[in-house]
Structure 1
Amino acid sequence: MRVKVRDVMTHEVVSVNGGASFKDVAEVLIAHGVSAVPVVDGEGHVLGVISEADLLRKEEFKEQYYGEGYQPPLRSRLRLSLSKEGPKTRNRAGADTAADLMTTPAVTTGSHASVVSAMRVMAEHGVKRLPVVSKEGRLEGIVSRCDLIQVFLRSDADIAREVREDVLAHSLWAKTSDVRASVEQGVVTLVGSMQRRNDARIAVCMVERVNGVVDVIDHITWRQDDR
């Protein structure tokens, strides 16, 4: 089973339009208990995303706007100076509407994308959640790191069934009838024998790709070293 984003995403997602005020955005985050909200146009196209961090920048850099002589912590100033978003960050700190507050373009994913690809997008862009959009760019839901972790909650029995029936029995051209698989707490143990070393390695790699597999313990022996 290849788990898709649509299988774990939140379908009912709150959003705001570009004209929403700073206060309105803050109230939406608090009322719905979320840490970020997509900004959409009148047709539901995702324009950007506003996170709690975007709102807190008004406090972090308030000396520029309120003249209180406040200096952000050194770590924050270094992060800002090293970031490509530095100037934009300072501008957003003085923003009053969602259109000016949001980070754009939004980093998104599609509902048919695999959870692995969504994880990689999050890691690449350093974000904790992704708006899920249609091919036309309209908002369909949102997926968070917590949602993606759900793939590791698959039962051992479900993982074992996929490994035995889908991977070992049908996905490999090499004979695997002498290979046995057991699963405990998401860790798959493969025991048995195969003809070639490379085929044994391929079997292990394919089992590692099964959603929910935490690790693979390889006890497969081979009769021919064809490296």
Structure 2
Amino acid sequence: MHGTPHIVSDVMTRTVVALGRGATFKEIVKTMQQWRVSAMPVVEGETRVVGIVSEADLLPKEEFRDGDPDRHTQLRRLADLLKAGAVTAEELMSAPVVTVPEDATLAQAARIMALRKVKRLPVVDDAGVLRGIVSRADLLKVFLRSDEDIAAEVRETVVADLFPTRPEPIRVEVREGVVRLTGRIADTALVPVAARLVRAVEGVVDVECALTGPRRRPDLDPDLPDAASAAPPSEVTGTA
């Protein structure tokens, strides 16, 4: 379907810099600077992810470097104080680490990030082996799809399947990711279904569904007034 990315493996970064449990504090800082990353997974045996170290894990060492915290701070920020005294990746890392499988959908990955309040997720296979890393920015790549590509997918996977027969052609317009559907369909009960399916297409920002039912013909619908009786008295002419 036009190369639409649907799963994490489509957008993740595959070249990942990882740390061993024994990596030193200074080594971690140097590696982050060298590779311009703000977090790195910690692996065991060079493959299995056991934790993650981020800049936030390193900052307490600088924050508490020049003084002893008061009793209130000690009780409230015990975890940070422990990291302030850490010198290896094993002591600094957040564990157990939140990961995501390669075949997870982008929506599932986004949901995990939101619920767990993390900015990135190590991507692992069924054995927990590191395969890549996915960030918030990676998940937003789908919104870089062209309007033409989105429109083509909507026509082929929504309009063609949901409305195989229709009174008139359905027009699909996409501007800046906003999809607008116009035209007539046989069953207006399908309008909310169409809107939901279009919204599920990767890269869609919003949906404007202006689909209407078929034109009504008074001669075929006895409940509708005919043209003469529906016209105002001044417009009905004739001879006595």
Q: Does the pair score TM above 0.5?
A: yes
Aligned mates of 1:142, 1:109 — CA distance in 2: 9
Amino acid at match of 1:17: G
SS in 1 for 2:183: strand
> C-alpha root-mean-square deviation of aligned residues, in Å?
2.2
Does 1:59 find its partner at 2:59?
Answer: no
Q: 1:3 aligns with which of 6, 18, 21?
A: 6
CA contact (8 A) 1:200 1:222 kept: no
Amino acid at match of 2:10: D
Q: Deviations over 1:115-139 (max 9, x none)?
A: 1111111111111111111110010
Does 1:120 find its partner at 2:111?
Answer: yes
In structure 1, what is the equivalent of residue 15 of structure 2?
A: 12
The alpha carbon displacement at 1:3 in A equals 2.1
Q: 1:190 aligns with which of 175, 181, 187?
A: 181
Alignment of 1:78-157 (within 5 A): 81=76, 86-157=77-148
The alpha carbon displacement at 1:2 in A equals 4.8
Does 1:167 find its partner at 2:167?
Answer: no
The alpha carbon displacement at 1:89 in A equals 3.0
**Residues 157/173 of structure 1: CA separation in 2 closer, same or farther (3 Å cut):** closer
The alpha carbon displacement at 1:90 in A equals 2.7
Q: Which runs of 5+ in 1 are unaligned?
A: 72-76
Aligned mates of 2:61, 2:113 — CA distance in 1: 25
In structure 2, what is the equivalent of residue 42 of structure 1?
A: 45
Alignment of 1:14-33 (within 5 A): 14-33=17-36
Aligned mates of 1:130, 1:203 — CA distance in 2: 33
CA contact (8 A) 2:158 2:197 kept: yes
**Residues 13/69 of structure 1: CA separation in 2 closer, same or farther (3 Å cut):** same
Aligned mates of 1:69, 1:102 — CA distance in 2: 23
Higher relative contact order (CA 8 A, sep 6+): 1
The alpha carbon displacement at 1:146 in A equals 1.2
Query: Highest CA radius of gyration, 1 or 2?
Result: 2
In structure 2, what is the equivalent of residue 214 of structure 1?
A: 205
The alpha carbon displacement at 1:5 in A equals 1.1
Percent sequence identity over aligned pairs:
46
Q: Deviations over 1:183-210 (max 9, x none)?
A: 1111111101233333111001110010
The alpha carbon displacement at 1:93 in A equals 2.3
Amino acid at match of 1:38: P
Q: Which runs of 5+ in 2 are unaligned?
A: 215-240
SS in 2 for 1:143: strand
Aligned mates of 2:126, 2:39 — CA distance in 1: 22
Q: TM-score, normalised by structure 2?
A: 0.80
CA contact (8 A) 1:192 1:219 kept: yes
Does 1:199 find its partner at 2:190?
Answer: yes
Q: Deviations over 1:94-116 (max 9, x none)?
A: 21110010001111112211111
Alignment of 1:63-74 (within 5 A): 68-69=67-68
**Residues 155/140 of structure 1: CA separation in 2 closer, same or farther (3 Å cut):** same
How many matched pairs?
Answer: 208
CA contact (8 A) 1:194 1:221 kept: yes
SS in 1 for 2:52: strand
